[in-house]
Chain A
Amino acid sequence: MTSALLHTARRKWDAHSQRPFTRLVRLFVGRVFHGSGESAEGELDLSLGLVLSLLALPGGFYSILLLDKYSTLLQWMRGQHDFDPLAAALPDEYFFIVLSMTVTGVVAVWRWDSIFPDRRDYANLVPLPIPMRAIFLANLAAILFLTLVLALDVNAASSVLFPFVVSASQNTFTLFAQVLWVHAFVVMLASIFSFFAVFVTVGLLMVTLPYAAFRRLSLYLRGTIIACLAALLATSFAVPSMLRQLPGTSARFLPPVWFLGLCQLIRGRASPPLASLGHVALIGSAAVLVAAVVTYALSYRRCFVRIPETTETIPAYGRANLLWIFPVLDRTMLTSPFQRAGYRFVMKTLLRSERHGLVLGGFFGLGIVMASQFLFASFNGTQIEAGNLPSAEVVAIPLILSYCIIFGMRFVFDIPTEMRANWVFRLSLDKTRHECIPLARKLILTFVFPWVVAIVLPLYGYRWGWRVGILHAVVVTLWSLCLADLLLLRFRKVPFTCSYPPFRDSAVVLALFCVLGFFVFVVLTSKLERWGLSNPIVMTSLLVIMFSSWYGLSRIHQGIEGIDNELIFEESSPASFELLDLGRGT
């Protein structure tokens, strides 16, 4: 009986899924996950399950970290006898709202190009006997479906774990259920709001700007949106304390505060100003949804329908005002034709390739977030300065930025751009005589050295004296050189021209290396440097260690020259097992 029912249901679903409209919706949903790039071989090989798990991870992880805060045993040990879990949950609720908006917003920015139907959709679908409105409606349905899936996925773990953690001390299912539904409703609505807010921004730009101008502005706008989301995340620990000053504080303009107001409104715990912000959240969500549909319809009409009338070629980015830099670098830094060509190729790719720009921007944004956390901690903790010297947190800020930029650059070098075009390098380079490491080192330092000299040195020098400024600039530069050389060990590829390394095989080791590296490069170094600033012997020792490390790494680079030094264009994953073939020759 059951199998017959299942069989019938399956047959009906099969028939339904083969309808043209359903097939179109499936196509558009698949396209968002697979990207709209020309070559799928250039896309990072992440399975759908892995992507969904990664998106759900931050919320679940943070919920588990809160066990300590809501633990009854720890409350008892701290002497907290009148613990109100819902009142204590307010800052955490705010953080979850911000996290949900940030993750969803970043995904919307990441998949920016895939949300709207493009030239390829036009070429494949429009010549077929399907009405244009079917394409329009199918893409709209796909967008709505994906938004719901995304909102569910990003908040699924926290929607279960966080209410569980908060209500654990009370042992009542009623409280758990109440926290669960309110939390789940609010964070999902916040996610949807965030997704459609990004969507409206893209749509408005597409409607108002010429195509070429839109493409040119797109990267900068995406960077700005990510920076805004990162700033929301970075300030999420500070905002809840400002809520007491509502409505006088500027925090009332922050969308996450509206959703926190909605959360408190539903729970019946909102102050009048917070309750009114809760209503703003509801009105705002509805308005953004309507605006998204309207801008989508307008941009569909203006851009998609007119694709054959627009030119496919996008004019190259004009950088005429910066072109004088290259001859100067040729004379001073780029010592060979390989370095000159490679430097230009990499810089232009970074400036023009959205994927590379976004990944590097993501690392830089992470650096800004962590740096702001350190700055925040130094303001709220001890002091921004101890005596006439900067605190360890303030010392750490340039190190954090440098660490994130160098790691970001090294990571970005492994992301290929149009693999099929690398034949020009294969054809024209001598595989055994290349200068990939010096080229990569110079590229990395281009992104570190200028701001160390132009910002760190004068800023720290002005605030804490030139001795501190110069010493700090020297430490940041030397340590950056060491990190760059460490990450470039056995580097033998022209950036962007080699296939992806097997990230999935070594992801855990890489993550551990990143965390450990951060501890050594930032935390330990900043504390040692802070100590060294007040103690010349420590500073001298620190500088000697850094010079030695750098020298040691240079020797290692020279030592392994000739071993596996051949330029590569294909990364091969290590075989699970290899035959030793001991029988050969017997």
Chain B
Amino acid sequence: MLEARELTKSYASVPAVQDVNFSLAPGQVLGCLGPNGSGKSTTVKMLTGLLEPTRGKVLFNGEDIHKDLVGFRKCLGYVPEEPNLYPYLSGREYLELVGTLRGMPRSSLERKIDALLDLFSLHAHRHASIASYSKGMRQRILLIAALMDDPKLLVFDEPLSGLDVTTALVLKNLIKALGQQGKAVFYCSHVLEVVEQVCSHLLILRKGAVLACDTAEAIHSGIEQSSLETTFMHLVEEVDADKITRDIISAMEAA
């Protein structure tokens, strides 16, 4: 369904992402991992068509997404990293705006909005302005906006940010269920435990390049590590976490 071919993005000739290759089939949940500055956000932006690659291409059903961006985005649900919403609109108004712009029929739009607001525990706050929403509420609005048109491809960038335990649990189950339903899900996160629970496949990035891309089991067995955390540390981090911890405490205690 979605395929990245030699995806490269450079800013002023400095490469942020270099030769990233992977494919995401229907029913797969691909978790994208990497430390800060590894190129995750740039990759997500290129996958959603927000950023044009310097080299390489993103294919959706075998077609370059930039050939028909509007058609591609009709099939895409995207939850960005920052809940950057219009604060003066109410939650319901925002969802109506998104639904209208996605070309959803009015009758089903209103029904879906009400149902999803209710399911995400926002129905009581639907007429309050987004300015008064907490970070978690804004995040839930973004999730509803991404899900309500029933897209084939879902791209989540840190979707659990700010969510309470219950909603986070629901969302984790939902992502797995969406995968089982045949949706393709690209899941970008720092939280290793969640990625481990939710994703069937892993893409690990470091300094803009792909370190590993396979099923979670294959990656674990390949480097003989038992958990994702140790796998991640083995592949990505070149730092001694214990030493840094000791140094921080020393710095705190210094006169």
Give A residues with C-beta under 8 Å from B. Answer: 18-20, 23-24, 27, 30-31, 34-35, 37-41, 119-120, 122-131, 308-309
Supply 22 A–B pairs (Cβ within 8 Å), ascending by A. Answer: A23-B97, A27-B86, A30-B88, A31-B86, A34-B88, A35-B88, A40-B130, A41-B131, A41-B132, A119-B84, A120-B85, A123-B80, A124-B85, A125-B101, A127-B78, A128-B102, A129-B71, A129-B73, A129-B74, A131-B70, A308-B51, A309-B11
Chain A residues, Cβ within 8 Å of B74: 129
Cβ distance B92 to chain A, nearest Cβ, rounded Å: 14
Within 8 A of A (CB), among B91-144: 97-98, 100-103, 106, 129-132
Task: Determine the residue in chain B with the shortest Cβ distance to A310.
Answer: B11
The residue that A120 contacts in the complex, of B84, B100, B102, with Cβ under 8 A, is B84
Q: Which residue of B has the minimal Cβ distance to A36? A: B86
The distance in angstroms between the C-alpha atoms of A31 and B78, with both chains bound, is 23
| Interfacial chain A residues near B87, Cβ < 8 Å | 34, 37-41
Interface readout for B15-51 with A: 1 if CB under 8 Å, 0 if not?
Answer: 0000000000000000000000000000001001111
Q: From DSSP, what is the main secondary structure of chain B's interface residues?
A: mixed
A356 to chain B minimum Cβ distance, whole angstroms, is: 19
Residues of A within 8 A of B205 (CB): none
Chain A CB within 10 Å — which of B78, B98, B100 has the most?
B100
Provide the residues of chain B in CB contact with A38, threshold 8 Å. 87
Do A20 and B101 have beta carbons less than 8 Å apart? yes
In the bound complex, how far is the Cα of B86 from the Cα of A27, in angstroms? 9
Partner of B88, one of A40, A123, A131, A308: A40
Residue of B with least CB distance to A35: B88
Q: Which residues of B contact A126 (CB under 8 A)?
A: 50
What A residues does B98 contact at CB under 8 A? 124, 128
CA–CA, A31 to B72, complex, Å?
A: 28
Q: Is B237 an interface residue (CB 8 A)?
A: no
Please name all residues of chain A whose beta carbon is closer than 8 Å to the beta carbon of B50 when the two chains form the complex: 122, 126-127, 308
**Closest residue on chain B to residue A22 by CB atoms:** B100
Quote the shortest CB–CB distance from A303 to chain B (angstroms). 15
* Contact residues, B53-74 vs A (CB, 8 A): 69-74
What's the least CB distance linking A21 to chain B, in Å?
9
- Find B106's partner among A18, A41, A124, A129 (CB 8 Å cutoff): A18
- In the complex, chain A residues whose CB is within 8 Å of the CB of B100: 18-20, 23
**Shortest distance from the beta carbon of B200 to any chain A beta carbon, whole Å:** 24
Per the bound structure, the CA–CA distance linking A337 and B23 in Å amounts to 58
Task: Give the chain A neighbours of B247 by CB distance below 8 A.
Answer: none
**Chain A residues positioned under 8 Å from B213 (CB to CB):** none
Most chain B C-beta atoms within 10 Å of own C-beta, residue among A20, A30, A31, A130 = A130
Tell me, rounded to whole Å, the shortest Cβ–Cβ distance linking A313 to chain B. 13
- How many residue-residue contacts, CB under 8 A, span A and B? 75
9 A-B pairs with least C-beta separation: A40-B131, A40-B87, A34-B88, A129-B74, A129-B73, A123-B84, A127-B78, A308-B51, A23-B100
CB distance from A401 to the nearest CB of B (A): 36
Which residues of B in the span 200-243 have a Cβ within 8 Å of any Cβ on A? Answer: none
Question: In the complex, given contacts A119-B84, A126-B50, what are 13 additional A-B residue pairs having Cβ atoms less than 8 angstroms apart?
Answer: A23-B101, A30-B88, A34-B87, A38-B87, A120-B86, A124-B84, A127-B48, A127-B80, A128-B73, A128-B98, A129-B72, A131-B69, A309-B11
Chain B proximity of A570: nearest CB distance (Å): 14
Q: Please report the C-alpha to C-alpha distance between residue A23 and residue B96 in the assembled complex, in whole angstroms.
A: 10
Are A27 and B102 interface neighbours, CB within 8 A? Answer: no
B188 within 8 A of A: no
Please name all residues of chain B whose beta carbon is closer than 8 Å to the beta carbon of A308 when the two chains form the complex. 45, 50-51
Alpha-carbon gap, A30 to B89, bound state (A): 9
Shortest CB–CB separation between residue B82 and chain A, in angstroms?
7
Please give, as numbers and ranges, the residues of chain B lying within 8 Å of A41 by CB-CB distance.
87, 131-132
Complex Cα–Cα for A398 and B177 (A): 73
Q: How far is the CA of A123 from the CA of B74 in the complex (A)?
A: 16
CB distance from B168 to the nearest CB of A (A): 22
In the complex, A23→B99 CA distance in Å? 11
Q: How far is the CA of A39 from the CA of B72 in the complex (A)?
A: 32
Q: Which residues of B sit under 8 angstroms from A120, Cβ to Cβ? A: 84-86
Most buried by B among A31, A125, A129: A129
A119 and B50 alpha carbons, distance in the complex (Å): 12
Nearest CB in chain A to that of B42: its residue: A308
CA of A448 to CA of B85, assembled, Å: 41
The reply to whether A39 and B88 contact each other, CB–CB distance below 8 Å, is: no
A26 (CB) vs chain B CBs: closest residue = B97
CA distance A130 to B71 in the complex (A): 9
**Which residues of chain A are near B132, meaning CB under 8 Å?**
41
Q: How far is the CA of A123 from the CA of B138 in the complex (A)?
A: 14
| Smallest CB gap from B84: residue in A | A123
A119, B45: Cα distance in complex, Å: 14
Question: Are the CB atoms of A130 and B101 closer together than 8 Å?
Answer: yes
Taking the complex as formed, is B7 at the interface, i.e. its CB lies under 8 A from any CB of chain A?
Answer: no
Give Cα A39 to B88, complex, Å: 8
Beta-carbon nearest neighbor of B130 in chain A:
A40
> How far, in whole Å, are A18 and B106 apart by their CA atoms in the complex?
8
How far does the alpha carbon of A40 sit from the alpha carbon of B51 in the complex, in Å? 29
CB distance from A556 to the nearest CB of B (A): 38
Distance in angstroms from A305 CB to nearest chain B CB is: 10
B89 / chain A contacts, CB cutoff of 8 Å: 30
Q: Which residue of A lies closest to B81 (CB)?
A: A123
The reply to whether A128 and B101 contact each other, CB–CB distance below 8 Å, is yes
In the assembled complex, the CB of B89 is this many whole angstroms from the nearest CB of chain A, namely 8
Beta-carbon nearest neighbor of B129 in chain A: A40
Question: How many Å from the CB of A331 to the closest CB on chain B?
Answer: 24
User: Beyond A127-B76, A308-B51, is A27–B97 a contact (Cβ under 8 Å)?
Assistant: yes
